[in-house]
A and B are shown apart, each in its own frame.
Chain A
Amino acid sequence: MAKHATPLLDELEKGPWPSFVTDMKRQAETHPECWDILGQLELSYKDKITHWKHGGIVGVFGYGGGIVGRYSDVPKKFPGVEHFHTVRIAQPSGLYYSTKNLRALMDLWDKYGSGMTNMHGSTGDMIFLGTRTENLEPLFWDLTHDLDQDLGGSGSNLRTPSCCLGESRCEWSCYDTQDVCYHLTMHYQDEIHRPAFPYKFKFKFSGCPNDCVAAIARSDFALLGTWKDDIRINQAAVKEYVAGNYPSNGGAHAGGDWGKFDIKKEVINLCPTGCMWMEGDELKIDNAECNRCMHCINVMPRALKPGKEKGATVCVGAKAPILDGAQFATMVIPFIEVSKENEYENLIDVIEQIWDWWMEVGKNRERVGETMQRVGLPTFLRVMEIDAMPQHVKEPRSNPYVFWKEEEVEGGWERDVQAFRRKHAA
């Protein structure tokens, strides 16, 4: 029996897309606090404003992240959501689950929480949505002791790293994203659970330039798979595409009326560098001119594959708009080996070089991309001990105001104005 009337939310039970309202009502049968979630949400729909207030210092002892505190501003009306803290649970790399583990997690949340979750939050964690302060420690106890798993990050911490599914089910992945993600997550448990930085710091791992986890848009440290040799071509498969026997773009356009596949129009002419051509019925690529954008590979997955000498490009400093505007990550290291063999030591070196500098120079609440912008890319490259190269910019600067350093100028900056005056009358 509904505890609150929800005429506005009931409108969201209509339509073909699965309804969170229907789902929540069903859960309310066993978790009555869901009625209060619905009740308060209905009130927000009526008032057109949120009824949640700031969280503050809620957490589990010794961790600076993983729990986000939340309280209702109408607790008398909706006592079931008076406290409504979220718990971030670190997700397995690639978001695969055994039902055994997923059921155990749901049982845990059944015991301590509201019954609602997000699968998943924006950063990648599993989100348990809504519990009381006094449940946090017992929940954490069971999570660690019985399920052998842990919370994710929030606040000025390393946020829970995330990755695309990588080699597990994608032929394009240029390194094992899941393994790097898992390894670094374990390596940096302290930084994930306790504040470490001027502001949040995110790692994201994409296996190829298609960037399915939006690393270049969202992470302070983005590792995007790439290759340094030639795109592999299967000429027999090229012929099949040209003959229309294989669907273009892996079948992604099958529902549209696009006519017969035209390799010239759909691949060669859309190549951003114009580095492809046909010689008879063979596809040729001038790989030295290729910028590895993935378009041709996306369109003809059975004929073209990334090269064999694989690794990744490191981009640094992406963020959402708050406060000076959004930034994409800037290409910093064109190619880096990504190898289990050295336990990703070379990546760790790069990460810690960034951290050591940013912790010193970064202002409070300044993402590393903002620090880079404030000090300038040349300064950041010097910190990283990386020589400037044209690949670091879209185009050279057009203003001439270079910050020359004294040691770069013959004779230095100390000069004798008297000697100057002897030759030049005032």
Chain B
Amino acid sequence: MGYDPNNPMEGRITDLGPRSYTEMLPPVIAANKGKWDYHEIIAPGVLLHVSESGAECYTVRVGSPRLVSIAYVRDLCDIADKHCEGYLRFTTRNNVEFMVDSKEKCDALIADLKTQSSKFPIGGTGACVTNIVHTQGWVHCHTPATDASGPVKAVMDDLFEYFGSMTLPAQVRIALACCLNMCGAVHASDIAILGIHRKPPMVDHSRITGVCEIPLAISACPLGAVKPAKAKVGDQEVKTVQVNAERCMFCGNCYTMCPAMPLADPDGDGIAILVGGKVSNAKSAPKFSKLVVPFLPNTPPRWPETVAVIRKIVEVYAKDARKYERIGEWAERIGWEKFFEKCEIPFTDKSIDDYRLAYDTWRTTTQFKFTKATEAYTSK
């Protein structure tokens, strides 16, 4: 028996919640939960956790594209069934982890994964560029300003050497959100790839009364740029809205509430790059990512401009930062003026905050460094 459309309420079950985590733990994890003594990354992508009992858990981490098929997930299950007693886990950054309880099993697991390395690259540990957390983009979202899976694939292809190694000063966390809603928490990432719109919404007067509640569209605007209006549709006068384009900050919140106000556009949309955020409380407090490149065009299929900017930042950081220094900590130590100079990113007024609480970010000290940007004042 199954769902009966003629009797939808019969036998209905709700509010079960997820399955308990206790059913999902590999035996070595279940037996040693709460008793772990220490861990060590024994090779890129391979972690060893040692329990107070002396038990060992070897974890092999592989990257995944996050957007994955059921066939792919079944492949993961095959590996877990063969090597890991039928268990596996995912990380919060879309990596997959296979766990075994001995070095021999770990070696066999790695050997197997290496035969499928185009599908299961090993890495993502320590001072590396790990997997990019990202949103849906053009694969599923209705408000994106760029794709997600495509730029992520292009950037990870380019930075691949850093995924499977641990040569950087610290971990580099990259995230992509395909619009300013930031479903992916890119606002606290070492490098954030952010889809942005740059054209104000159009108003589809013929659709607006049918699909949209006008007061909601008006109140959705944080800057009061959407006002009630009347328009002629055929010979009928309809209630609609008008947009004060000069006040628009292109957030798209109106479109979220009102489908008759589309703002996406092939030329208007593109990517902004923000850097220097972090979540961890280690050493310095969590930091927001800061806008350093206000706009790069959408250039599918491989977004070369975006890829190039990110590679440049990672390479300069890799050479210049001190051990343990996150990108944001490095930029603060050398000064943001030096960050722009070293990364050869032109500074524009778009990087100066003029939204709310902006003054907090303006420089109110005589302490700064002279760089190329100040040459007009210092050269004879």
**Chain A: residues with CB nearer than 8 A to chain B?**
8-9, 11-12, 14-21, 23-24, 26-27, 30-31, 34, 37, 41, 44-55, 61-63, 70, 84, 86, 89-103, 106, 109-110, 115-120, 122, 124, 129-130, 137-138, 140-142, 144-145, 147-150, 160, 162, 164-165, 167-171, 176, 178-179, 182, 185-186, 189-190, 192-193, 209-214, 216-218, 224, 247, 249-256, 258, 266, 270, 272, 292-295, 298-299, 301-302, 320-326, 328, 364-365
Contact = CB atoms under 8 A, between A and B. Distances in A.
A145 B11 CA distance: 9
B86 A98 contact: yes
Q: Of B81, B139, B181, B211, which is in contact with the most chain A CB atoms at under 10 Å from its CB?
A: B139
A253 B127 contact: yes
B5 A137 contact: yes
A45 B150 contact: yes
A251 to B, nearest CB: 4
B140 A45 contact: no
Given A48-B298, A254-B126, A256-B168, A320 B86 contact: no
B68 A171 contact: no
B166 A254 contact: yes
A98 B24 contact: yes
Contacts of A27: 69-72
Contacts, number: 404
B157 interface: yes
B20 A182 contact: yes
Interface in B174-190: 177, 180-185, 187-188
Interface in B66-124: 66-74, 76-77, 80-81, 86-92, 94, 96, 99, 118-121
A24 B92 CA distance: 22
Contacts of A62: 14
Contacts of A255: 44, 126-127, 165-167
18 contacts: A18-B64, A49-B266, A49-B269, A50-B264, A61-B8, A96-B87, A99-B81, A116-B68, A122-B133, A122-B135, A169-B57, A217-B185, A254-B44, A255-B166, A256-B127, A270-B283, A320-B182, A320-B185
A322 B94 contact: no
Interface in B133-191: 133, 135-144, 147, 149-150, 153-154, 156-158, 160, 163, 165-169, 171, 177, 180-185, 187-188
B281 A325 contact: no
Nearest to A304: B38
Interface residues of B, number: 132
A95 B300 CA distance: 33
Nearest to A93: B21
B2 to A, nearest CB: 6
Given A55-B142, A254-B126, A119 B94 contact: yes
Nearest to A291: B281
B222 interface: yes
Contact of A252 (B76, B125, B141, B153): B125
A102 B77 contact: yes
A186 B281 CA distance: 30
Given A23-B69, A266-B323, 20 more contacts: A9-B301, A18-B121, A23-B72, A30-B71, A44-B138, A61-B8, A93-B21, A119-B73, A120-B90, A122-B183, A138-B2, A182-B20, A216-B281, A247-B40, A251-B166, A255-B127, A298-B282, A301-B39, A301-B40, A302-B38
A294 B283 CA distance: 7
Contacts of B298: 48
Given A101-B23, A142-B2, A324 B73 contact: no
Contact of A322 (B15, B68, B144, B182): B182
B313 interface: no
Given A92-B21, A169-B29, A251 B65 contact: no
A216 B14 contact: no
B376 interface: no
Contacts of A90: 17-18
A137 B298 CA distance: 38
Contacts of A299: 324
A397 to B, nearest CB: 13
B279 interface: yes
A251 B126 contact: yes
Contact of A251 (B40, B182, B324): B40
A214 B289 CA distance: 14
B380 interface: no
B289 to A, nearest CB: 9
B240 interface: no
B201 to A, nearest CB: 13
B185 A110 contact: no
Interface string B222-253: 10000000000000000000000000000101
Nearest to A107: B70
B38 A251 contact: no
B234 to A, nearest CB: 23
B280 A294 contact: yes
Nearest to A152: B18
Given A101-B24, A150-B18, A37 B139 contact: yes
Nearest to B160: A16
Contact of A164 (B92, B220, B264, B355): B92
B49 interface: yes
Contacts of B219: 364
A251 B17 contact: no
B324 to A, nearest CB: 6
B300 A48 contact: yes
B36 A169 contact: yes
B153 A12 contact: yes
A293 B281 contact: yes
A148 B281 contact: no
B63 A95 contact: no
